[in-house]
Amino acid sequence: MPGDSIALASDHAGFELKASLASWLRDEGYEVLDLGTTGPDSVDYPDYADRMAEAIRTGRARRGVLVCGTGIGISIAANRHRGIRCALCHDTTSARLSRQHNDANVIALGARMIGDAVARDSVAAFLSTAFEGGRHARRIEKLS
């Protein structure tokens, strides 16, 4: 909800979409923790996924948004970390279900796959949807 701190991180391919999302989230009343990258120079996505995992682990943010070209590399890297459940989403349906069924705490987006409006709507669904618990909680406990 507005007032919460949302961490954002991306590689160079996701830098512009991340900046757009940061601006929109601030307008929506969220506190934005920008973990970089800060420009178009080539960087390695695992470094930014690791920064996100650290921010979530230490409680600097409760939720996060990761962006790379497809969202694939940065979501793989994020899910290497226990405590991160990073959902790669292309639409609001998957963003909603990632919260209802997977209790995702990080959403990954592909800046070369979806546009600004779809990205914003997906993040909005991610931030506004509650976990359903029940049988889904049992499955999450099984994640190694």
Residues that bind its own copies (CB under 8 A): 42, 44-47, 50, 69-70, 72-73, 75-77, 79-82, 85-90, 93-94, 97-98, 101-102, 104, 110, 113, 135, 138-139, 142-144
Task: State the minimum distance, in angstroms, from the CB of residue 130 to its own copies.
Answer: 16
Contact assessment for residue 95 and residue 63, using Cβ atoms and an 8 Å cutoff: no
Contact assessment for residue 46 and residue 24, using Cβ atoms and an 8 Å cutoff: no
Sign of CA dihedral 74, 75, 77, 78: positive
Which active-site residues does the annotation give?
68, 101
Task: Determine what percent of the chain falls in helix, strand and coil, rounding each to the nearest 5.
Answer: 45, 15, 40
Task: State the minimum distance, in angstroms, from the CB of residue 23 to its own copies.
Answer: 26
Task: State the minimum distance, in angstroms, from the CB of residue 43 to its own copies.
Answer: 9
Q: Which is nearer to its own copies, 29 or 40 (CB)?
A: 40
